[in-house]
Amino acid sequence: DYHQHPNAKYPLVIAHGHYSATWMAGGSFRSTPPSGDAKGYDRVDQEYGYYLYKNWTSPTGVFHGARMLVATLNHPVPFFDDSYAVNSANVGPYGDAIVKELIPKIEQTFRGIGAGWARAMMGGSTGGWETLAGQVMYPTDFNGAYAACPDP
């Protein structure tokens, strides 16, 4: 759809996580049902990944036809593997760099709408903290914050 509609613009979701060398946007996307031997968190992850897949791809799914940009950020600093996405006297203006420079560049490059009403954040653990901090510190730059188990 992205290439079939070259004039379309999309809302942006920032998926704050904690450091990962691979793509981690806050969940999985799985085209097959959970394996029979999956247990515990692996089972839950597979179930929700399949649930998301069905809702995204089914003509009657709740997300069918939904289009958005989703970006996840790695922003390590010399003292930790994550800047917490805020300005800091110790490591610099990460919050401003992300919100005022990186996000507009993502939107410009990938046809984002480019307005605070069309942006949201989600995340858990450190990503939950970053999500809440981003909404509090940049209230007009985001229109939603979905935080799970934020760091204390």
The pLDDT tens digits for 77-136 are 888 778 889 999 988 999 999 999 999 999 999 999 999 999 999 988 888 999 999 999
> What was the pLDDT predicted at 96?
98
Residue 2 lies in a domain: no
Does residue 41 fall inside a structural domain? no
Q: 16 is in which domain, residue-wise?
A: 12-26+72-148
Residue 75 pLDDT grade (very low, low, confident, very high; cuts 50, 70, 90): confident
Report pLDDT for 94.
Answer: 95
Structural domain includes residue 6: no
CATH number at residue 82: 3.40.50.1820
What's the structural domain count of the chain? 1
User: pTM value?
Assistant: 0.79
In a domain, 96, yes or no: yes
3-state secondary structure the chain: CCCCCCCCCECEEEEECCCCCCCCCCCCCCCCCCCCCCCHHHHHHHHHHHHHHHHHHCCCCCCCCCCCEEECCCCCECCECCCCCCEECCCEEHHHHHHHHHHHHHHHHCCECCCHHHEEEEEECHHHHHHHHHHHHCCCCCCCEEEECCCC
- Among residues of the chain, what percentage have pLDDT more than 90? 47
Residue 23 has pLDDT above 60, yes or no: no
**Is the model's pLDDT at 37 over the cut of 80?**
yes
Q: How much is the pLDDT for 114?
A: 98
Return the pLDDT at 52: 83
Check whether 137 has a pLDDT greater than 60: yes
On whether residue 45 sits in a domain, the answer given is: no
1 pLDDT tier (thresholds 50, 70, 90): confident
